Structure 1
């Protein structure tokens, strides 16, 4: 991390050019969120040392004047940093208090922190209020200092938050032994993520390392985590419990199972870059509600591609589980792009904010504005993917008060060096009048001049080398989207076109301009109803299964015999049950084995097998299984309407009993028809 900060510092703060977040993310092979996080840390260091901050606006980064200092002088200015920066000083006080055990004194803190007694006492009042906000009490005790009390989870969560906000914490606090432990934790976390087939975002990975450190330090002062009994383990909890002894070896001390669960849940709350499709608790509700959420947003914000973009569905599904876990724990992930989202996707964000109630009502949680803005970014990416972005010649005006000859020289030089359309040269007063009715891409001025919504570059009348570089840098980022609707509107202002010629004109212009917009909106993925795919030959009543595998095979055989799946699909179902046996049992007595579409699915299909004698699948709570629903699908969405209908029926205990007691496929189908849209 420090090497990346150093390089970003040299690129952004010690050069005259502008960088985009995307450009830096690609250069360092990290996410845009990580770049924003790094810029935030650099700005904190710059502010603490009395230097101007990096300007970050609309995805672009630039520094006013090159900073000719060594990066190390920022890193090693910690005492001044702590003394001068109120927020960081209080973060340090907070972490010191929470890592001290049950009690601390002012003298203890003064030995650790290089600040005056008066400063510390003044800060303590604010720190105590902040701790109280997190349900952690700090009470004064006569002759002993202060006593800390609160739930261990609250203390650890606040420690993680405080340390993650302090860019120099480990440089100042962690010794050689601590750094070795962190290195081992990093290797452990990499391996666990690989085994779980997930890739954590850089921010989440660093936060998980802090969670390991916090757990280690709290255990070291005798503060083990205590939780309740677990009926069903998540896949993260299983992974940590199986490697319990390895965690103890890394920490060099005894670690409780509850501490393993705590770390596992932190991992479940972490945002992922990508995730292979492994089942988890609530996988069925997540799948169903994600589809409903997309539909709700598409109704609020008319963009039909939302319903057809598979990357959107998969991205939201991957993000929803950690977001749900965070909401359950009362945690949330700060989105460094929040202001960018609110500024650039205001209406879309409002549509998502209104539609997110679908998720909240189904999952019984609340998502704050940061989590909502993350959801918005997934929808915004669909718009980006579906809109043609092409570079056109930028429109520029010149503002110059030095007379015609000077402005003509500047205009000639600009046209000789750059490919731009110069719409005119103006005095300051006339420029302000002209700009009220026009919007150029860039304003180049020889005098101080500002205008809302349009970038202004101040240059010398004769264009210095520095001016040329600045203009070139700005022009390289000017792009414009061309929408066919806007093109047709412009044409319509000047000519009247017969209705029957509109479509051919639009099509010909689309081909010429390279805009692949269809004249008709895309239709959403067709989702058949339950009655369209469930027939008696996909139902088996009172099947005698000796074990779990026989029950699963029968549900798969019905799909294969109907021509909905290849024979290989049955083996894939068995393998999936072996890996995800716990999660296959979706509710008491009901299992839903399936496999990935590419593993032999040919069409959408649902089979129902009722068992003469219930079978154990290995679920500690929902066993034994008496109904097996085989599922095959050719994508992530087309089967969801039928599956939703069936899921609603299977949530009705009376209907489940009727289906279980039925003696024939015809009888079962009739029971289902009575309560569905069939």
Structure 2
């Protein structure tokens, strides 16, 4: 019988009246299912010692039905029951958890009864509890004739509760093992399933895949928010930064708000919607190209990523700018990281110590270089957040060492996001002849194995997949991990198989005169140490005046609506053979589907689409508007200047884009552009800037 079941028995003994299940769930802040399980344990305990079972009456509830002699016997049994002894740290977590989930004041006697310790122990422990609460921006106050009460903001209380869950080693929500989940303490299985569907819907609407760790964290925060709302403990107006209102996540959270209210029969206030959105924004993504519909900060992030990567090149004397995986990975990671840092949302990197031990030099150089990001985005990186950046850089360094080899097909499964999976993937590729098909959250692994031919699943979390070999490793490979993998991969490896694969591709399309000799030649080629991945020459980055001319500028246009303005900027790119016509439609669709993030600053919109929709060259067009047009942006409307934009990769447009942004950031020059009556006037402004 657990401690809570023991407390229920003591409650029955001390109060000779009926308790409803609902009253017990409110008193202990757990779900009905948890109470029902505890009542079953109590009945089993009573039966074991030949005591009458609990009395249940349909309309009244539940109570003990014991004579005084049986009550004494039961108390003696409870005293003898081996329930374990709390350590001081466990007492702190249990006591604060108990007080944070109470509506009313709590007396010292109640806390001592809850912990099964003396009043003096509670009084002595309270000194440490108060210090801990101060670190959480909370206070523990004693009121005469009332009792103890934890005071502070609701947001601080939620953060404290979640920290306590973590300290109790119950932070991660195992949706597949509901009995062991934190959520099961305050929500039913059906309610947890509702939450799971809602977060999956958010993923679908945003077109992203959240890492397992963030996925469970979002569900936990949302579940806690719903529970607190039920307790009439809601966030105040200043709890969440208003910046979240500009995100696509907020739009999605507003849609899901109605489902929350319907499923849980509550009114889910605006501040709680913002709280839910903030958890989505701060979530790590699973794939390096997983921008989805969450790219509202794309322009400043491109600029700062470029500056950071260029600084890394000077530090490590390596060419990183052409590494799209590094650039896109940093772009996707920085957005949630910056939001977390600005909004005091802390996450830990579980492999920080391993990174510092195994990649000490790289980590030190990243810590020295990261002020480039801090200065431009006005944030301060802690070491945990910085270590995720180290993982991306380490992966990029490792990628430069790789050679063409025969590679069995594997997938990586991890729960902490793409920084971990990217670093693990590059370690694996450098050490073994493998082809990493991708990194996936644990909940999708079985589905991927069914869809693709996979030789091996390499995972950092415990999973089982029927019919496919699975090996569990550390994110930073240990010697034992490497030895295990080496033995396991031997049966998949072999240069001969690679050659046979190539021959199977070639033979349907040509006549092979001597297949044996061809096979031997291919074998020699792929075994040669000098055979390496061929690097493309680094493309020169043009400056702005090389990609902008008078034919790409229209002044004082009289278009009347947003879509027409976007199309006009695209038509200029098309007329100058910089894009295909499909690109214009993609520009318009991008605004419809992803929102108004293209309004990058007050009065300035920069519509664009992905390169694959028909970008042929780097290009910019400029359309100034005679009359301002509302694009639908909450703070940056109305728009006076529309800048059409097309790029062919992640990097070659950055110099020109940086110069353009530099001019637009100068109020005097921006005013001159808006007032210009001819395209020549605008070009003169940029040409003069280039000469300065």
How much does 1:198 deviate?
Answer: 1.5
| Match 2:129 to one of 116, 127, 130 | 127
Which residue of 1 is the match for residue 274 of structure 2?
261
What is the SS of the residue equivalent to 1:188? helix
How much does 1:386 deviate?
Answer: 2.6
Q: 2:206–2:292: 8 Å Cα contact kept in structure 1?
A: no
Q: 2:352–2:387: 8 Å Cα contact kept in structure 1?
A: yes
How much does 1:86 deviate?
Answer: 4.9
Aligned runs of 1:22-33 on 2, under 5 Å? Answer: none
How much does 1:361 deviate?
Answer: 0.9
Q: 1:543–1:612: 8 Å Cα contact kept in structure 2?
A: yes
| Match 2:205 to one of 158, 175, 195 | 195
2:651 counterpart of 1:651: no
- CA distance change for structure 1 residues 590 and 388 in 2, over 3 Å: closer, same or farther? closer
Which residue of 2 is the match for residue 149 of structure 1?
151
Which residue of 2 is the match for residue 302 of structure 1?
317
2:642 counterpart of 1:628: yes
How much does 1:530 deviate?
Answer: 0.7
For structure 2, the residue ranges without an aligned partner over 5 or more in a row are 1-80, 172-178, 406-477, 491-523
For structure 1, the residue ranges without an aligned partner over 5 or more in a row are 1-78, 392-454, 458-469, 480-508
What is the SS of the residue equivalent to 2:85? helix
Which residue of 1 is the match for residue 263 of structure 2?
250
Deviates more, 1:86-95 or 1:265-274: 86-95
| Match 1:598 to one of 612, 617, 626 | 612
Aligned runs of 1:68-467 on 2, under 5 Å? Answer: 83=85, 86-101=88-103, 103-113=105-115, 117=119, 119-168=121-170, 171=180, 174-175=184-185, 177-228=187-238, 230=242, 232-274=245-287, 275-304=290-319, 306-388=320-402
The 1-side partners of 2:632 and 2:400 are apart by: 45
Q: 1:308–1:523: 8 Å Cα contact kept in structure 2?
A: no
Which residue of 2 is the match for residue 556 of structure 1?
570
Which residue of 1 is the match for residue 585 of structure 2?
571
Which residue of 1 is the match for residue 450 of structure 2?
none
What is the SS of the residue equivalent to 2:246? coil
The 2-side partners of 1:587 and 1:370 are apart by: 31
1:217-271 per-residue CA deviation (whole Å, 9 max, x = no partner) reads 3223221112259584311111111222211223332221111111110111111
How much does 1:591 deviate?
Answer: 0.5
TM-score w.r.t. the length of structure 2 is 0.66
What is the SS of the residue equivalent to 2:597? helix
Q: 2:621–2:645: 8 Å Cα contact kept in structure 1?
A: yes
| Match 1:584 to one of 598, 603, 607 | 598
What is the SS of the residue equivalent to 1:626? strand
Q: 1:159–1:214: 8 Å Cα contact kept in structure 2?
A: no
The 2-side partners of 1:550 and 1:474 are apart by: 58
1:283-318 per-residue CA deviation (whole Å, 9 max, x = no partner) reads 2101111111111122212222x2211111111111
How much does 1:209 deviate?
Answer: 1.8
Deviates more, 1:145-154 or 1:223-232: 223-232
Which residue of 1 is the match for residue 38 of structure 2?
none
1:104-151 per-residue CA deviation (whole Å, 9 max, x = no partner) reads 333333454455655544443222211101211111222322122212
The 2-side partners of 1:675 and 1:456 are apart by: 57
- CA distance change for structure 1 residues 280 and 115 in 2, over 3 Å: closer, same or farther? farther
How much does 1:473 deviate?
Answer: 4.9
Q: State how many pairs are aligned.
A: 494
TM-score w.r.t. the length of structure 1 is 0.67
- CA distance change for structure 1 residues 473 and 317 in 2, over 3 Å: closer, same or farther? closer
| Match 2:651 to one of 612, 637, 642 | 637
How much does 1:85 deviate?
Answer: 5.3
